[in-house]
Structure 1
Amino acid sequence: MRIDLHTHSTVSDGTESPADVVRAAAAAGLDVVALTDHDSTAGWAEAGRASRELGLALVPGMEVSCRTDTGISVHVLSYLHDPTHPALLAEVERSRDARLTRAERMVEKLAVDYPISWAHVLEHVAVGATIGRPHIADTLVALKVVASRSEAFAHILSARSPYWVSHYAPNPADAVELVRAAGGIPVFAHPVASSRGRIVDRGVTEEMIGAGLLGLEIEHRDNPDEGRGELRAIAAQHDLLVTGSSDYHGTGKPNRLGENLTRPEVLSRMEQLATGSRVIR
């Protein structure tokens, strides 16, 4: 069984609709795929309909954007939670609102030096999507300011850029607690992805475990080999689930569906532990 537990659609920063993500997963030979858009479950229904049509199992999920007290970005994958849980819903809505305000401010700053406007950005945002830096990056590509999303993130949109604007995001341990309260399975996404920027120390990971973290996304292209060994040791010490995934974004990133996979017994354990929602089959 081929299981990929991390993908994004146009509901957040992917380039394909939820249904097309499922179709691409089927074409890639997957048996199970999770849809984990940033701070949103808006794609679940569409993806679920496509999964039933194609006979592919769908794991409903979400990627919660977090930040530590020292400003380090952390992502918590939430699987099989209740999408209507009031506390979790309020927190992700607060994050989405902050992302919108942040994106508007960044565009204002960029407009001083580049031919970009908020109207240009909205042309690259799907209806109902959580607006973020990827949409600004796509706009910069369309305007021929940069050649790709990757180039935009490496320079103009990086945290070291003069155009950078911070935004609200929950503490990762708090996010873990909210996911558990919503009956979901919280998994620390790409914990040692140092190529993306600063990563947290062991203390933050331990805080998340103390808050109820249930898994680590170890098999991910952005986790270097030397870091994966340490993560496996942590997982063994605390009896955490070990997941693997592509972090697929369509054409938005080079990541390919099925390039890393999760073992079937891990998914079975997730289903046993979750009380918020079910795998769609």
Structure 2
Amino acid sequence: MPAPDTHTVKSFAQELHRLTNLVTQMGGVAEAQVESAIQAVVRRDVELAAQVMQSDHRIDEYERAIDAETLRLLALRQPMAIDLREILSALKIAADLERIGDYAANIAKRSIALAQVQAVRPAAGVPRMGRMVQEIMKEVLDAFIERDVEKAIAARQRDNDLDDLYTSLFREVLTYMMEDPRNITPCTHLLFIAKNLERIGDHATNIAETVHFLVVGQPPAGERPKSDETSFTVLGADMAAAPDDAKSQAEG
């Protein structure tokens, strides 16, 4: 069997490097979008929120470029082993980053509505969740750039802490809604914002698992750590002691 052409091998390596750069750039844009969306909530900044929503197309453009490049490489290079994992991982990570961008845009949209109503106390929990989400995103993207499995595993484990924070905020918001019917509208927006942050954490965890697959050749062992208990919160039972007005608005 003839040895592979040196020029061809070098050219393929350059193409893979370019693909990695595209994913890295897309990750940087997604990080910036999430940070801006959180700041829009905290500062009640309608203009910043609008910018986040308008900039979502940049992430979509990166995903399209990565999709096209991966398809081209698969068709022309017929990669195997680590090269194939590089290409498949880029495709999966781009899909997760695109969803993260969508959630950031959703947070920005909710922040505009939230800015139109009275501020409520549980809003203080949003920046705490936001900081943790940003830290996890940074860790998984660094793990991808550095091909660092240990860093990816550590970031994956932190999703459990994010779920705990989400559950705590979820319960606080429900309690605040029951205390005063006037809190229901702003607190509903907060619940959606918190859920979007929790979902961003899930997609960041997906990226961590993809990094593990990229480097090791298989997904991480064991079930994904998960402690989101909000699915077991029965709103009807928790609302039993709430004022009648609060009950009717929550059900309506």
Greater share of residues in strand: 1
Structure 2 length-normalised TM: 0.28
Structure 1 length-normalised TM: 0.26
